[in-house]
Each structure stands twice: as C-alpha cells, then as structure tokens.
C-alpha cells in the first residue's frame, strides 16, 4: 500500500473462470476463483488500481458469453477497475504439456485444437477477432473501460497512409481501396467465414460476419 502512495501502481489479478470445478480440471494447483476475487476486493478497497486479467481464455471451454459475463459481473462486485482478456497461447513447450491434458479432460475438443494450433501459438486471427469483439461488448455492458482494438487501428492507419490501389482480404470480411477510398464489403465470403468458425467451435462462440 505504501508503494501505491509513492508511485502509480496497477495490479492485474488473473482469473480464467468463476467455475471452481472447471478450473480444477484445467489448473489443479492454481488458487480458487473466490480467493482471487477476495484478493481483488482487498486491493481495490485499499485504493489500489486493480482489475481482472481474464486469461487464459480457453477456446470452447471458458469463452462463452455467459461464462465471460459472469466473470466480469463478479469482478465488478469485487471493485475491479477494469477487465481485460487474452486467449490461450501455446508455445512449443506449453503445447506439449497442455494438449495431452486437454485431450484427457475434453476429448471432443482435441481435433479442433490440433488443427487450430498446428504450427502456430494462437487459435487464429478469425477466432481472436471474434473473441475480442465479445470482450469489448461485455466490457461496455458491465461498465468497464472498453479495450482498444489495436490491430484494427493499425489496419486503418495503414489504409490511410497507402496511396496506391490495393486489395486485401481477411477472414471476417474484405477490404478494398481504390482512388484513395476504403470500402468494407459485407458479402458471402464474410458470412462463410463466420459459419465455418461456428461449425468448428459450436454455439459457445457466436460469431458475427462483421466485428
């Protein structure tokens, strides 16, 4: 507390779910959700700028709107000043430990993870875009500061600085530029990408064709 009086201080309390039983299946040795929330409440009551780091968000397990919304609601009740989220990332070492454990606890998800995390550390841009949109919506709903969509800001800046005609597609839509004007085309390709994502992860992650 004395440190906070002398310096700007922000504390992130990481928590992945309010479901204690689920967390025991995922992280058997980690502190229980109520213990993390209690620590958060004590920090904010003491005037510390503290909030929730919802991480890792496990695709197909802890990423539903209901689960994330319940977590933000609990965090708000504990006095959280902010709530941010981050999807599961798997480096080579983490992948070798986590994927066999996931296959044991959630065998129905194993093929999806094998496809999604093959040769990369994240579940893919389409998934992280959809999850980011969900988190921003829930932040607004629960009265938290809304995270900036830094990737989208970077894209828009690139479009503004680009003077040549160009075309670039992405899974959730198509961006075109001609004569210095950008167009976001909401077409069949965007809808197909959204449907593909729904079919892969089920109804837990409801994806819009356009974020």
pLDDT, one tens digit per residue, over 103-114 is 999 999 999 999
CATH code for the domain of 133: 3.20.20.70
CB contact at 8 A, 82 and 145 = yes
Query: What value, to the nearest 5°, has the Cα angle with vertex 106 and ends 135 and 29?
Result: 75
27 vs 38, higher pLDDT: 38
Query: Does a structural domain hold residue 22?
Result: yes
Q: Is residue 210 part of a domain?
A: no
User: CA 19 to CA 58: how far, in whole Å?
Assistant: 13
Residue identified by tokens 């929730």 is 52
In the chain, how many domains are there? 3
Whether 1 maps to a domain, the answer reads yes
Domain boundaries, position 170 = 148-204
Q: Are residues 166 and 195 in the same domain?
A: yes
Mean pLDDT, the chain, whole residue set: 79
Neighbour tally for 125: CB within 10 Å: 13
Claim to verify: residue 3 and residue 33 sit in the same structural domain: yes
Q: Which long-range contacts (CB under 8 A, 24 or more apart) does 145-149 make?
A: 145/82, 147/84, 149/211
Quick one: average pLDDT of 88-110?
94
pLDDT in tens, 57-70: 999 999 999 999 99
Which two three-digit tokens encode residue 100? 């066999």
Kindly state whether residues 154 and 192 are assigned to the same domain: yes
Please indicate, yes or no, if residue 5 is contained in any of the structural domains.
yes
Q: Is the pLDDT of residue 158 over 80?
A: no
Cβ-in-10-Å burial (0-12, 13-18, 19+) of 124 comes to middle
Q: Are residues 161 and 192 in the same domain?
A: yes
| Amino acid 148: pLDDT | 79
Dihedrals phi, psi of 60, to nearest 5 degrees: 80, 0
pLDDT value at residue 48? 94
Same-domain pairing of 8 and 97 = no
Task: Give the tokens for residue 133.
Answer: 């949109």
């Amino acid at each position: 507390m004395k440190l906070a009086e002398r310096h700007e201080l922000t504390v992130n309390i990481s928590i992945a779910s309010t479901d204690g039983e689920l967390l025991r299946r995922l992280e058997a040795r980690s502190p229980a959700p109520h213990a993390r929330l209690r620590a958060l409440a004590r920090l904010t009551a003491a005037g510390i700028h503290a909030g929730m780091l919802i991480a890792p968000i496990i695709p197909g397990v802890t990423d539903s709107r209901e689960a994330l919304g319940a977590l933000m609601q609990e965090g708000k009740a504990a006095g959280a000043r902010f709530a941010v989220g981050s999807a599961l990332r798997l480096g080579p070492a983490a992948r070798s430990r986590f994927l066999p454990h996931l296959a044991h606890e959630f065998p129905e998800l194993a093929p999806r993870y094998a496809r999604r995390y093959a040769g990369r550390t994240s579940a893919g841009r389409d998934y992280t875009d959809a999850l980011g949109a969900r988190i921003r919506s829930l932040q607004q709903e629960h009265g938290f500061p809304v995270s900036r969509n830094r990737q989208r800001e970077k894209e828009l800046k690139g479009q503004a600085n680009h003077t040549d005609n160009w075309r670039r597609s992405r899974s959730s839509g198509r961006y075109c530029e001609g004569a210095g004007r950008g167009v976001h085309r909401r077409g069949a390709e965007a809808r197909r990408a959204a449907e593909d994502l729904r079919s892969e992860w089920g109804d837990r992650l409801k994806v819009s064709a356009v974020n």
